[in-house]
Structure 1
Amino acid sequence: MNGDAYENGKGKKDDKEPDAENPYKLTGHLKVTHVEKKAAGIPAVIASFADLIEEKTLIRGTRALFKMNQFGGFDCSSCAWPDPDDDRSPIAEYCENGAKALAEEATTKKVTPEFFRKNSVYELSQLDDYRIGKMGRLTDPVYLPKGGTHYQPVSWEDAFRKIAAHLNALDSPDEAAFYTSGRTSNEASFVYQLFAKEYGTNNMPDCSNMCHETSGSGLRPTIGIGKGTVKLEDFYDADVVIIIGQNPGTNAPRMMSALAKCKENGGKIIAINPLPETGLMGFRDPQEIKGILGDGVKLADLYLPVKINGDMALLKALEWLLLDFEKKSPGEVLDRQFIEEKTVGYDAFIKQFEEYQLEDLAAESGVAPALLYDAAQMMAFKKRIIICWGMGITQQPNGVDMVKEMLNLLLLKGSVGKKGAGVCPVRGHSNVQGNRTMLIDEKPTDEQLDRLENFFGFKMPRKHGYDVVRAIKAMYEGKVKVLFCMGGNLLSAAPDTTYTASALRKLNLLVCVSTKLNRGHLIHGKEALILPTYSRSDFDIVNGELQIVSTENSMGVVQSSKGVLKAVSDNLINETQIVCRMAMATLGSRSVVDWQRFHDSYDAVRDAIEQCIPGFENYNVRVRRKGGFYLPNAARDEQRFAAQYDYRAPFTLTEIPDNRLADDEYMMATTRTHDQFNTTIYGLEDRYRGVHNGRRVIFMNKSDIEKAGFKPGEKVDLFNYDDGIERIAPLFIIVSYPIPKRNTVTYFPETNVLVSINNVVKESNMPASKYVKIKICKHDPEIYQRINRL
């Protein structure tokens, strides 16, 4: 793969565009085995260290692992699950995927300017996402000129000059957008949003727009805060934990340790998901010797195999049953005092159940009435109930309503704002919640803007900006001409891959701040820059002093993080300084912000945060305390809810969706493998589901396979026709799996191409990637000609 046409950044233009999706081929020889019955344990430990060996960083990486998620160490860049407030495991306060994330950060493999000289953008695009991500750490800033075929070295000064020139040439600040990934620290996020506002726009799409925007949209108007209301120790005290639309065994493996403690203390766990997930069926805790060597523990006491988007009917069925239990045992099931003192709208809420029948709700949910009865009975005479959810809820078109319905259920029980009870949206990325707290938000409130304006002394833009979906449409329509990406891989994370790729190619300039190469660098604007930065585990030295940054986890704890590894290159710049230097180059003398002060001192950034964002009083002192500090949460701590309802929580009236399919249609939800975190592919194994050495698979019900005339292992092509447009994902292999009839599951990002840019969640405008209507046909080798025509 040597590009010999390169000479001083000029060369013959490739005839073909870089591939927006994974190349249409099967990786290796796919193997399907039995579904694992237990998660974690020795296999997880082996897999963790195998990645360190593969990345040629066994000693260096192992040393760092013992500092990850420890007091005085660094925060894992993987999921946002909280660390214990008290003692932490001396063996491993991290999960398998956290270890894999660290391995890719600590790798000794490097992507240098010489690498780019030898490999053209087009050649790199022919690789799948797994191989692109395994190239190593980026070492130097590189630039792709207009018409160029290869990225070429560029100095930091010239990079910032190019960014400034593009930004200052726009007719309006709103022709630029500033995307944020969840790995960005609080300090970098704060200066990033401040720069965007002083530049003049609220166009700040971020990864929340694709994962938990729905949660915030459902919680803010009902409990007054768009975050969860539980602490980690609440799981230990819960009577019942309901896990719906989430797979902790893969997406938040450390959560299983908390669930195991819940079980030890007599709690019950209910799992609700279209797929039975190994992590909830059996768990061997790798943080304890007995967990590694023992037989493990069965976590889920009850599994409800709900249909895709049958969750609303299921929740209403549970409420129907609880109300029926209350009739038979008055005052023993519902928390009447809580309902009277802390809620509004109860009478209108319960009146709707006069129109429902349990059998109809059960049919809509796909779950047998007897199982629903068992679940309701577990909850009926308990008050300490936690409901956890993930993107199986938030990426449904009615996801906001489902968040409100889950809250309805907890309000009936008085299970919010008390020990062992509450709502728990399980965030994915490590600081995605902190980003929003730091005002990374396309819809900032007037109150937030007023504080910034009073402190910094310049007029804040008040018009709402673009979220991810709207930003992609604006790029496609030529309304956004410059996109700056602070981390992430927007192309692979976004819906409607072909449409998104077309949008990105229309940009005048795409800038990506990154630690590793990804496909988002290969689908670019007329010009492109890649700016390398530190990872969470790297030493971050400013003016000769090792710095700390801070993050916020899913439970609202802000804590420090301090890198322990020497960076792979001396030519990296931290994210905060990248923003400050961009600001100084772009705004120059017209800026009223002391960007140089922020550039030279994270403490100075935290001092400004303290003045502008409630809850950060004495920030620089408290963040250095062992374990950090909790942000205020009135819903959790005081049972003070929505201000517009006199600080009560409203019961919400919602509707059951119509999920009918045409005779030749199936419902598809996307998911990730166990060897994956968001768009980062660590390997080609999904061992808990028994899929090995490949990713282009579609899980189908056995009877559906037979009825359609297919066979397990057969090659098929997948189609979506939303908006009257044919979208094609070719060459998938059928895997028989215990999944509800007419439901299918595939991996992302491979099938993001099937998710229409217009298939979104009402209110939150998130991509509804868990609700995609598809058709399945036998694989046609000539399908690629149709794709090329598209």
Structure 2
Amino acid sequence: MADRDDVIIKDYEGAAGGWGSMEGMAHVLPKEKIGPDTLDALRRQNKPEGVMCVSCAWGKPAKPHIAEFCENGAKATAWELTTLRTTPDFFREHTVSELQGWRDHDLEQAGRLTHPMKYDAATDRYVAVSWQEAFDGIGARMNKADAKKVVFYASGRASLETSYMYSLLARLYGSHNLPDSSNMCHETTSVGLKNATGSPVATIQMDDYELCDAIFCFGQNVGTNSPRMLHTLKAARKRGVEIVNFNPLRERGWERFTDPQNPVQMATGGSTQISTQYHQVKAGGDISAVLGIAKIAIAADDAARAAGREPILDHHFIGQHTVRFEEFAEYVRKAEWDDILRESGLTREAIEDAARVYLKSKALIIVYGMGITQHRYGMDSLYMIVNLLLMRGHIGRPGAGPGPVRGHSNVQGQRTVGITEKPELAPNARLKQLYDFTPPDWKGWDTVESCRHIIDGTCDGFIQLGGNFLRATPEHEKMVKGWAKLPFQVHIATKLNKSHLHPGEDCWILPCLGRMERDMQASGPQAVTMEDSFSHIYGSLGKATPASHHLLSEPAIVAGIAKAALEPNENVPWDAWVDDYSLVRDAIEDTYPDKFSNFNERMWQPGGFWKGNPAAHRKWETESGKAEFNAPRAMNAAGFDDAPGRLRLVTLRSNDQFNTTIYGYHDRFRGIHGTREVVMMNQADMTAMGLFDGDIVSLVSDADDQVERVVDGLRVVPYNIPEGCVGGYYPELNVLISLEHHALESHVPAGKSVPVRVRKPA
């Protein structure tokens, strides 16, 4: 990281995309010392019969652009295909205690892991072991443990094939603790959409963006989290589609976009305005913003019907397809404007502007991200979005519906093939029939529950398929202490990260092939599959030279653990599955025939094949058999009251990172270079606290549990953010989040509205 003297804070005047993106790639790619394999992977990326990006889960078009990758996708590709290596010599030079002091970026910048490693407490170092030694040791530790107390965590990058095998391994072993990265971000979607519409995922497909006439966007930073979406939004704007944005911070991607594949814009510096309206809601204020729109719409509908005019709402749809509308409408009618404006942070005029777009729209898409899901009352925010769509029949109509934008490239697909701690979502009856065993039928641990058991010492072991669980979770200090006391840890990974540096009694790092790399097995080169945010399934074929000839594929590692830990089962052909991944796809098809019919034949279909969605056809698999209106329990999703000196922290990603992976220290769009140790503040709040640009302060948790949680050494940066709100980077500020500060039903950590105070140095 740059020294503090090298920090530059300067407003960025450019658009998203354009030459800025080229500069961003030029800053990161050379550090990875990339070779021709990286360029070839980028050429083939997100294209039919190509390789799927390891970054976000935005859809892969049937007719791709010449370059179907974005700045962050290019960084992710270079990060995986770097020629830098973390070899056994690296671990001979550095103790684990020393590495604990390294920054996230520097750990991964050391390069790709090359050998299976086991922690040696006597020397405080990882030492190389053979694969068989690793599997035998892991199997022995698993057989000593209580299976019900062992966690099988999955990051969202693992393929459908690996995820299916991994979930089967866990259930055959006797565990149902299968949290994944969805627990960290979009589990609110999985629970809330399922409750309200019967489907836990988006009802729209990418083609619906060509048919809509309005797009509302809530809590999603498109320029950083899903930049390829900007091409879709640009095309919508060209058709005259109005795009109404609700987000606490002004994010450049929603303001304007220069298309890197448009020679005229690149030559002239021109750009496309994306949002036609931009409303800076208070953190958690989306509930009241939508409530205000609904209040205007219902009032207009009441007046129209009383006067004998055409109704504003779609009462035919409401009557035929929904329940509890009248209860919701009565709640809306009684809501007071003073409360709506206070809790949303918006003016009435702003809400009326948004309502005008809503009332004239015939086909509305609502896009949202973790700015909706990561709140105490995130479920209520989501229900309000669904309510807005249902009022005018905007689900099950071309060009209309909810469009959650997922993060990891296969996080949604993992749930599809069995990564779930919920027995009602697991295909237990079919698994019992196929593999002749009795799967666990009890509720397993999600992320929050897993953390509780790690902290209190009742977790017997942790297996991690990718990811950086320790760094991503709240309650960091307690988690570090509990993590280091785990009886065993297994980390399937491509690079070193913070989760590896607090080893338990026994700890292994098992390095795997990356998705971009050639995966050669007994039957030849292997392809894998994944699912995007639109429920489309794609094939992906890596061709790059593996980082080391010692690496195994993820399916081979899962199979190796299974054979070492489980009794033989003639119905589970682990070796055959590793030899030929098409046999795993056959098993997935046998398990989920309604979603994966002719799986192997359809996996290379341009644009992917759609697994289907009943709610998109107005078939509501809910308790009532209809789509359900829900009145909110609170008018702000934060879950805590305002108080003198209390601020709402919004944790953020820079455009130089993907989740816990930090590519560099340049957040171009926010004009912050050389550091991540910042707190972004409204100028009025700074003035009230006697703070100035560049002051160094601490952020202190203001949770009701009175636990001391502090992050020191943060530089104050004036920023366009609502009064009473501050922003700072994830995962560094996870330290400030209480484990119990999570979405009520889904248990997603509430990182978008964290109660904090600013402490000035003594």
* TM-score normalised according to structure 1 size: 0.93
Query: What displacement does 1:779 show?
Result: 3.2
Write the mapping of 1:693-708 to structure 2, written as runs, cut at 5 A: 693-708=674-689
Write the distance in 2 (CA, Å) between the matches of 1:697 and 1:242.
Answer: 30
One of 640, 651, 665 as aligned partner of 2:629: 651
Which position in structure 2 is the counterpart of 1:736?
Answer: 718
Q: 1:764 aligns with which of 727, 746, 751?
A: 746
Does 2:9 align with 1:29?
no
Matches of 2:147 and 2:396 in 1, distance apart?
Answer: 42
1:476-511, Cα deviation, whole Å (9 max, x unpaired): 222212100000001111111112111211101111
Match for residue 608 of structure 2 among 612, 628, 643: 628
One-letter amino acid matched to 1:98: G
C-alpha separation between the residues in 2 aligned to 1:542 and 1:752? 41
Which region of structure 1 is more displaced relative to structure 2, 130-139 or 550-559? Answer: 130-139
Write the letter of the residue equivalent to 1:779.
P
- 460-469 or 715-724, larger mean C-alpha shift: 715-724
**Aligned AA (1:773):** P
Write the distance in 2 (CA, Å) between the matches of 1:50 and 1:37.
17
Aligned partners of 2:119 and 2:250: how far apart in 1?
46
- CA separation in 1, counterparts of 2:287 and 2:623? 26
Residue 719 of structure 1: aligned partner: 700
Q: Counterpart of 1:300 in structure 2: which amino acid?
A: S
1:47: how far off?
Answer: 2.0
- Matches of 2:5 and 2:120, distance apart in 1: 35
1:473 aligns with 2:452: yes
Aligned amino acid, residue 253 of structure 1: P
What is the deviation of 1:328? Answer: 4.2
Whether 2:198 is the aligned partner of 1:224: answer yes
1:380-399 map, 5 Å: 380-399=359-378
Counterpart among 471, 474, 478 of residue 495 in structure 1:
474
The counterpart of 1:774, out of the listed 753, 756, 759, is: 756
User: Which one of the candidate residues 599, 602, 612 is aligned to 1:619?
Assistant: 599
SS of match in other structure, 1:66: helix
* Mapped contact 1:512–1:521 kept (Cα < 8 A): yes
Secondary structure, aligned partner of 1:744: strand
Q: Distance in 2 between matches of 1:508 and 1:199?
A: 17
Question: 1:354-503 maps to which residues of 2 (within 5 A)?
Answer: 354-445=333-424, 448-503=427-482
Asked whether the 8 Å contact 2:396–2:615 carries over to 1, the reply is yes
After alignment, is 718-727 or 161-170 more displaced?
718-727
Hey, what does 1:709 align to over in structure 2? 690
Matches within 5 A, 1:342-361: 342-361=321-340
Q: Distance in 2 between matches of 1:228 and 1:617?
A: 21
Amino acid at match of 1:486: L
1:449 to partner: Cα distance: 1.0
121, 129, 138: which one pairs with 1:163?
A: 138
2:623 aligned counterpart, secondary structure: helix
Equivalent residue number for residue 735 of structure 2: 753
Mapped pair 1:549 → 2:503: no
Asked if 1 retains the 8 angstrom alpha-carbon contact of 2:614 and 2:620, the reply is yes
**Structure 2 partner of 1:6:** none
Residue 625 of structure 1: how far off its partner (Å): 3.0
Residues 554-608 of structure 1: CA distance to partner in whole angstroms, max 9, x if unpaired? 0000010000201110010011111111111111336752222222221111111
**Corresponding residue for 1:72?**
49
* Correspondence 1:63 to 2:40: yes
Q: Which of 168, 177, 186 is 2:160 aligned to?
A: 186
Amino acid at match of 1:625: Q
Query: Any conservation in 2 of the 1:703–1:741 contact (CA below 8 Å)?
Result: yes
1:593-645: CA deviation from partner (whole Å, max 9, x where unpaired): 22222222211111110011131011111113333311011111x11113422
Provide the rounded CA distance (Å) in 1 between the counterparts of 2:352 and 2:58.
Answer: 31
TM-fit CA distance, 1:27: 5.5
Q: Partners in 2 of 1:354 and 1:88 — Cα distance?
A: 47
Contact 1:383 1:414 in 2 (8 A): no
1:101 Cα deviation (Å)? 0.2
Counterpart residue type for residue 6 of structure 2:
H
- CA deviation after TM superposition for structure 1 residue 443, in Å: 0.5
Which amino acid in structure 1 is aligned with residue 144 of structure 2? A
State the one-letter code of the partner of 1:260: K
Q: How many residues were matched structurally?
A: 752
Alignment partners' CA distance in 2, 1:538 and 1:672: 27
Q: Could you report, residue by residue, the CA deviation over 1:210-263 in whole angstroms, capped at 9, with x for unpaired residues? A: 010001110111111100011112112211111101100111111111111111
- Per the alignment, residue 294 of structure 2 pairs with 319
Could you tell me which residue of structure 2 aligns to residue 135 of structure 1? 110
Q: Which residue of 1 aligns with 2:98?
A: 123
* Aligned partner letter, 1:673: S
**Cα separation, partners in 2 of 1:726 and 1:96, compared to 1, 3 Å:** same
Distance 2:589 2:285 in 1: 44
Give per-residue Cα distances to partners, 1:148-188, cap 9 Å, x unaligned: 41100010000001110100011x21121110000000000
Pairing 1:102–2:84 present: no
Shift of 1:63: 2.1
Asked if 1 retains the 8 angstrom alpha-carbon contact of 2:285 and 2:343, the reply is: yes
Preserved CA contact (<8 Å) 1:236 1:259? no
Aligned AA (2:743): V
Aligned-pair CA distance for 1:359: 3.5
TM-superposed deviation, 1:325: 2.5
Please tell me whether residue 669 in structure 1 is matched to residue 650 in structure 2: yes
Cα separation, partners in 2 of 1:267 and 1:485, compared to 1, 3 Å: same
In structure 1, C-alpha distance between the alignment counterparts of 2:702 and 2:316, rounded to whole Å: 51
Per-residue displacement from partner, 1:406-450 (whole Å, max 9, x unpaired)? Answer: 000000011011111100110000000000001100113177211
Are the equivalent residues in 2 in contact too, given 1:476–1:506 (CA < 8 A)? no
Letter in 2 for 1:753: V
Structure 2 counterpart of 1:619, one-letter code: F
Counterpart for residue 65 of structure 2: 89
Match of 1:680 among 629, 644, 661: 661
Paired residue secondary structure (1:130): helix
CA contact (8 A) 2:194 2:622 kept: no
Shift of 1:308: 0.7
SS at match of 1:151: strand
- Partner residue of 2:212 out of 235, 238, 244: 238
Kindly provide the amino acid, as one letter, of the partner of residue 482 in structure 1.
G
1:36-75: CA deviations, max 9, x gaps? 3511111202322442222111533222210111111100
Alignment-mate amino acid for residue 153 of structure 1: A
8 Å contact from structure 2 (residues 193, 200) kept in 1: yes
Who is 1:111 aligned against? 86
CA distance, structure 2, for counterparts of residue 447 and residue 516 of structure 1? 31
Q: Give the Cα separation in 2 of the matches to 1:193 and 1:602.
A: 16
Letter in 2 for 1:538: E
Separation (CA, whole Å) in 1 of partners of 2:149 and 2:121 = 19
Root-mean-square deviation (Å): 1.6
What is the aligned partner in structure 2 of residue 44 from structure 1? 21
- What runs of 5+ residues in structure 2 fail to find an aligned partner? none
Alignment deviations for residues 645-682 of structure 1 (CA, whole Å, 9 cap, x no partner): 23x20111212246522212111110111101000001
Flag the 1:767–1:643 CA change in 2: closer, same or farther, 3 A. Answer: closer
Secondary structure at the residue paired with 2:717?
strand
Q: Is the CA contact 1:473–1:503 (under 8 Å) kept in the aligned structure 2?
A: no
- The one-letter amino acid paired with 1:683 is G
Conserved? CA contact 1:320–1:358, under 8 Å:
no
1:539 paired to 2:518? yes
8 Å CA contact 1:434, 1:553 repeated in 2? yes
1:271 aligns with 2:250: no
CA contact under 8 A between 1:730 and 1:779: conserved in structure 2? Answer: no
Q: Distance in 1 between matches of 2:752 and 2:291?
A: 20
